[in-house]
Amino acid sequence: MLAMMNERYQNNKALPFLGKFKLNYLLKPLKKEYPFLKNSDSSSLQVVNEFLTQSWKNFFQDKTGQIGKPRFHSRKYLKKSYTGKSIIKTAGKRYLKIPKLGYVKTSKTGVLQNTKIKRYTVLLEPTGKYYLSLQVEISEPEKYSLTGKRVGIDVGVADLAILSNGLKYPSFNSSYFEMKAKIWQRKYARRRHLVKLLVL
């Protein structure tokens, strides 16, 4: 799609802009020409068209000249992920049914009960682990009425915070968490390096 749009723009810049619905209409003939596209979730291809359309809109609407024409990214920094908007169903405890992937075991599904999932993204990290992020639709949070009360906060060293009503929040030693973060960052860097070597 991107190659076609780039060629179309180079040949005649006066041609009308193709929206996402027109691009989606082209998916059917493209699947006949490239059969491997049938292995993908159809909604993920539509999401790609949405992202592509938005990139071109940003390019055309930019008046500062800072946003360039959409282009292909380098394979050196390839991000293995895809986003879909098909219906995902919770199947029992800790299982989700994702189109084309089937049943996938997750960490928790209890919080997804009676929740509408708008989109999902499947991501493969260099460590070899898969992650699933969900975009959900939630009801408007309950609005709390103002109490008319006020409170002062004193931030200190011995105590993290002391409120004017006498409530204290004790301080904690952050060095432990900083140390753990450094350890996991080193592990991640080593695994990322090993994955790059395996790919090469």
Residues 6 or more apart in contact with residue 129 via CB below 8 angstroms: none
- Nearest CA among 160, 157, 108 for reference residue 134: 108
* Tokens describing residue 88: 């995902």
Q: What DSSP designation does 55 have? A: H
| Distance spanning both ends of the chain, measured CA to CA | 28
- 61-to-4, 45, 84 alpha-carbon distances in Å: 20, 24, 27
Mean pLDDT over residues 98-121, rounded? Answer: 80
Tell me, what's the pLDDT at 79? 77
Residue spans of the domains in the chain: they are 2-72, 79-138+177-200
Q: What DSSP designation does 38 have? A: G
pLDDT tens digits, 167-179: 998 887 778 888 8
- How many CA atoms within 13 Å lie on the side-chain side of 103? 7
85, 46 contact by CB (below 8 A)? yes
> What confidence tier does 197 reach under pLDDT thresholds 50, 70, 90?
low
Find how far residue 85's CA is from the centre of its chain: 12
Q: For the range 85-93, what are the long-range contacts, defined as Cβ-Cβ under 8 Å and sequence gap of 24 or more?
A: 85/43, 85/46, 85/47, 85/118, 85/119, 85/120, 86/41, 86/42, 86/43, 87/117, 88/117, 88/120, 88/134
Q: Is the pLDDT of residue 196 over 70?
A: no
CA–CA separation, 189 and 178 (whole Å) = 16
31, 57 contact by CB (below 8 A)? no
For strand 159-163 and strand 153-155, is the pairing parallel, antiparallel, or unpaired? antiparallel
> What confidence tier does 89 reach under pLDDT thresholds 50, 70, 90?
confident
Mean pLDDT over residues 47-66, rounded? Answer: 82
The structure's pTM equals 0.57
Phi, psi of 122 (to 5 degrees): -105, 125
CA–CA separation, 128 and 126 (whole Å) = 5
Find how far residue 80's CA is from the centre of its chain: 12
Mean pLDDT over residues 105-110, rounded? Answer: 75
